[in-house]
Every structure is written in C-alpha cells, then in structure tokens.
Amino acid sequence: MPIIEVSNLEKSYGSLWALKGISFQMKEGEIFGLIGPNGAGKSTTLKILATLMPQDRGRVEVAGYDIIREAPKVRKLISYLPEEAGAYRNLTGREYLRFVAELYANATGKDEKEMFELGIELAGLGTRLDDKVFTYSKGMTRKLLLARTLMVVPKLAILDEPTSGLDVMNAYEIRERIKEFSRERGVSVLVSSHNMLEVEFLCDRVAIIHRGIIVEAGTPGELKEKYNAENLEEVFVRASRRVSYG
C-alpha cells in the first residue's frame, strides 16, 4: 500500500488556483521530492497532506486514511516541518523536545524517553539545549525543529524546504541527517524544495510541479535520461518550458 495517494487534488485561494488537479503516489520508505519554483503549489500540497487545510476537490490518503475524515489518525502517523517554522521562544530546546515527545507518547503509546533521547541526539546542540530557544541562531533552531520532526519516528515525515535560508554547512548537515535517518529507520519522507541539487542528492523519486500542475515524475536518473540533461535543474527548466510554450 502506498504511504501517500493523491488524486485530482485541487485548491484555490479566492480566484487563484494553487493546485489544478495533481495526482501522485509515494511508496513506503522512500524519499519523495516535490520540486518547483516559488508559488508552484508545493507548500499548499504539503499543508493539505499535513491536515492543516482541506482541499477543494480530489482525494488524499495517508497510509490508507482519508485526510479529511480521518485527520486525527493521520496526525498520529505524520510529522510536519513547515518552511518558516519556529519553536516556543520562552522554552529551552530540551523542554520543547520533551513537550512534543509527551504529546506523541500520549497519542501513539510510543516510548517517551526513547523519543526524547533520540531528539537530543538528532539536534546535536549539546549544552545549548538548556538555553531558551530565542537565543538560538537560525541554523540551531532549524536543527532543533528537524530533531523534533524526526525523533517521533513517524510513518511519514513531511519537510517543507528543510534547508531554506541556511548556510552551506548547516544545509549539508541537515540533508545528511534526513537521508541517514530515512535509510536507518525506514521512514518515508516527502520533501519540497526549489533547490534542485538538494533534491537530486536526497530523493529516490521526484515530481516537478509548475503552476499547480505536475509536469513530470520519476527517479532523478530517469528524468535526466528523458530530457538528456546533466542535472535536475536542466530537467526542470526543459519540462517547465514544455508546459509554458506547448
């Protein structure tokens, strides 16, 4: 059974159609990338999958559960990292991780201590975990949030632009962590990015989304071969042009 099944998904903001009927499937344990420029509809897709907002039309299932009718069940299986997320500024990093571990332990019956200790390890912030979050740099906050997302070992991790706004070192470290974690724990990861090289490094399969439509999908190798391109960036440009100019 696929971990995600999306069919004919449509969503509008007033008169603007952000998604115009997209469909895709994601297999369990894979890292799937949604790539596209800003405003393509990536974040909207991820928000719908994370049960933050309902779609206008179409069907979305996570692990066989309908995301509208069975949202509470879906929330036990997923863990979401928004693009511009923050943590509670008045709590310490440690308190924040404990809060999330307690909630998941309460809802899913997983071992709270185990999740908490994994969070500490994934964050890699050492003694700074005992400082309040408002003293953290952007990179440190992002590491804490990624640790929070992954420590609960979800069936599906949804990561919206996980390395957005980070310097090269921090971005590299986070990408490594995501890939390693997914391989070790078998966690399915849906990642969105407009950084094609990042997606090429991370993902088993990708879907290129442009103006609310999926214009291509496949493994990075397949797509590069199909478009006779050296990297995903070239694939994206050629696939988008094909849609724009027919």
Partner 1 sequence: MGELWIMFRKDLMDILRDRRLLTAVVLPLILIPLLFGIIGSSNHSTSVSVRVIDNDNGEYSRTLVAFLQKNGIEVNESSPVTLIIPAGFSKAIESSTSPELIIQVDLSNPLDFKTVRSAEVVKGLVLRFGSGVLPSLKSKFKIEVGGSVLNVEPSRYISSLLRGPLAVPLVLFVVAIYASQAVAASVAMEKESRTLETLLTLPISRRSIILGKIFSSIAFSVLVLASLAVSFGVFTRLSPYSRNSGSLFVSLAPLLFFSVGTFLLFILMLLTSLLVSLFTLDVRSALSIAGLVEVVYLIPVIVLFSGAGLSGPWGILVKTDPGYTPVQAFLSAVAGDYFMALGALVYLVLWNAMVLKLAVWVFDSGVLMTKRIDAGHLRWLVRIKM
By CB under 8 A, name the binding residues for partner 1: 13, 47, 50-54, 71-72, 75-76, 78-82, 84-91, 95, 99-100, 102-104, 106-108, 132-133, 145, 148
> What residue type is 116 in one-letter code?
F
Relative to beta strand 213-218, strand 78-81 is unpaired
Least distance to partner 1, CB of residue 105, Å: 8
Please report how close the Cβ of residue 196 comes to partner 1 at its closest, in angstroms: 25
Pick the closer one to partner 1 by CB: 174 or 206: 174
Query: Min. distance of Cβ 225 from partner 1 in angstroms?
Result: 37
Q: Which is nearer to partner 1, 20 or 76 (CB)?
A: 76
- Report, in Å, the least distance between residue 54 CB and partner 1: 6
158's enclosing H/E stretch is strand 156-160
- Residue 11 Cβ, how far from partner 1 at the closest point, in Å? 9
* Contact assessment for residue 63 and residue 5, using Cβ atoms and an 8 Å cutoff: no
CA atoms within 13 A on the CB side of 116: 16
d(CA 60, CA 82): 19
- CA 98-100-105 angle, to 5 degrees, is 90
What's the min distance (Å) between Cβ of 34 and partner 1? 17
CB closer to partner 1 out of 30 and 160: 160
- Which residues, at least 6 apart from 106, have a Cβ–Cβ distance to it below 8 Å? none
Q: Which residues contact 172 (CB under 8 A, 6 or more apart)?
A: none
Q: Toward partner 1, which CB reaches closer, 83 or 204? A: 83
Residue 64 or 86 having the CB closest to partner 1: 86
Nearer to partner 1, 16 or 169 (CB): 16
Distance between CA atoms of 63 and 225, rounded to whole angstroms?
Answer: 31
Contact 187, 157 (CB under 8 A): yes
Q: Coil, helix or strand for 33? A: strand
